A and B are shown apart, each in its own frame.
Chain A
């Protein structure tokens, strides 16, 4: 049993113990235990998280960030401002490297418009590339084709959580970038083309996806922390059925 392989009962007990131990800081001087909790959750979930990252990276035939990038030379985006309160933090440092804020009387404001859309996208691409490096393994062709199976280091989990925080806080920016001229159409076209991909090719080129598909298609198995049922989670999150995509590939 590695650091990340736990029987369901042990995982459940750990979850309860960790949650029961969470406490609100009694004063502003004390640090919150949110970060250790996030590290714990992502450490336990890294393989499934890796599967989802791989699926997201390959579901449109190539990285969706690349597809968006192809459309950004003429984004036709009106300038829109976003605020990310919290002052100095690693998140703000990351933002500043790509898109420095504009200082106003009411605080820093980050603008998204046609002129800087590509810089925002570069931020997303960089974060995603880091996430892939933590969770995925490259094949002989230099592309990420498999989920990493070895337990991630503490530094890797910290990096994963930092990227998650960044991506979550930038969700509204990402939504706005998707409204750029031609992006939605390009993604829809890529998705349609990918759905025509043959099943044999899919199974050979993306073994993790085939494995994912097999799990989705299999009946509910006993719950364990090691092997969970993706279909159920997707349903809980009200996601589109992944099996439909895979079925079309296998048809």
Chain B
């Protein structure tokens, strides 16, 4: 009934504050002998609207071909250009992210809401869920369920398997690829990582970008990257005083 829903809307801050408190106070405890660490990284957010970046099909096409399976038919220029027609702008809504986070069962694996603003797309749903693991955002398989099966489809059920997508810096677009994991993080964090573990879509400009610009990295070796990220970014996690 609309009346009940309206009242629940009024009570939303009360409800979410109580749930967030319950979840947040779960951290710092020992569960099964292990200290539950706070894993909500502020690097998963960026406060500014994404800066637009020119889409360079000549930079994207070679990358697409490099990443696809050897026996597959090479991507055409038209296919590469099609990325721009499925381009999204994204930004993170703090309260929405927190509201989602409190509903997750996995501690330390927050789910973030990214709001997509469509320019040219046939996608009917207006959002995707992005799983954050350790710090860099990873476009998870759930995302496809939210943005439409017409774009991406997969039958993988392994929770560690992510959709293979290509995301273009600043203009977030995606395209099914081979068997790679995609990350997006800001350029400040990209400076912390060594290039040997990942390919950057536009390497010449990434490190020069302002830190609030979100960059998309395509990783060949998730485990090495995650370990490296952990070591570099340990002191940058929320609650340790780094702004």
Contact = CB atoms under 8 A, between A and B. Distances in A.
B12 interface: yes
Interface in A107-126: none
Given A12-B45, A64-B3, A161 B9 contact: no
A233 B3 contact: no
Nearest to A7: B47
A184 B21 contact: no
B6 A178 contact: no
Given A56-B7, A187-B3, A232-B115, A11 B94 contact: yes
B124 interface: no
Contacts, number: 132
Nearest to B11: A168
Interface of A: 8-9, 11-13, 15-16, 19-20, 22-24, 32-34, 37-38, 41-42, 45, 49, 52-53, 55-56, 59-60, 64, 161, 164-165, 167-168, 171, 174-175, 178, 184, 187, 191, 219-220, 222-223, 228-229, 232-240
Which are the 4 A-B pairs with shortest beta-carbon distances? A164-B14, A20-B239, A24-B25, A9-B47
Nearest to A161: B14
Contacts of A168: 11, 14-15
Contacts of A42: 13-14, 17
Contacts of B21: 22, 32-34, 37-38
A58 to B, nearest CB: 11
A53 B96 contact: no
User: How big is the B interface, by class?
Assistant: 35 or more
Contacts of B127: 235
Contacts of A33: 21
Contacts of B117: 219-220
Contacts of B29: 24
Interface string B68-94: 000000000000000000000001111
A232 B115 CA distance: 9
A223 B49 CA distance: 8
Contact of A16 (B18, B42, B96, B126): B42
A59 to B, nearest CB: 7
